[in-house]
Structure 1
């Protein structure tokens, strides 16, 4: 089945570059120049992933992300922006974005990010019934898995909690769920005193 990417950016040159990169990876591309257009196109075309700019006419990237999340909680949304401020990244993640990258984007990095996000999305959709049975929410699980996928080494629950708008107890429950499914490995780090500290990574 073909994959469709929605590129949302008001800069024609950037849209062209992103389209070339996506088509090189053999993905279909549809384009929107504003937040309003993006929402309308999303409802009509139901793309598999969104590349979202921050500064947009008729609704910025954050507002557009929130609107899309109202009727679709699992589609991956990768934010692309020149703004390096941590608070911008945090605000986007709270709005429902699944990944965040700074411009200018290098083709290999973007293709890798898209593939990872599509993989997590596919895993999420494949196990919707299991999520419902166990009280696991699709969007929360995908956020945690997307974050783990982008880490080079095993990380702690505190590190995940600080990076995502998710409570410690919730992160712990979802990691236990993923461990039970054989998707996460627990790495125990022993210090000089006290109990070992657990770190987690995707298998």
Structure 2
């Protein structure tokens, strides 16, 4: 779910032809509007007046759209190859679809584009609006956790993980409290949680 001002947007997942988003009045629970039969059923709030909706179906071409929170009116829509991740930072929507693009949440105007990687973090999480994190690197080569400036996309800092650490890392990290990144990897009935200490450190279980 996502909350924008006095409106709560609830995605309804059925199948590609029957997905929907229902918007409810936060005070009364009454329906304000419904987007029916839409593949765009993943939702995040941008400020108090706009929702952004998109599809997370793997390998499918799709689109991302801005929706007025009060009326459900589509404000803008962009086609994309397939969204690998989407983050909201202040009034900006940062998405990864083979490259990074930052769009203004209300107008849909492109603010900047460039670079590559996977955005790290949850779309609706409350985090520092000035920066965003991304995970970059080849599948079997060195990887980096990169800090970028939300307003320009400029790389501000990076922690590079040496090749010998790759055997300990599965998938991309999740953000946890204190600005830390948590790496996790399934191991049979257990899960391995890892920390990493600096450029010369070693992964620890």
TM-score, length basis structure 2: 0.29
Whose strand fraction is larger, Structure 1's or Structure 2's?
2
Greater C-alpha Rg: 2
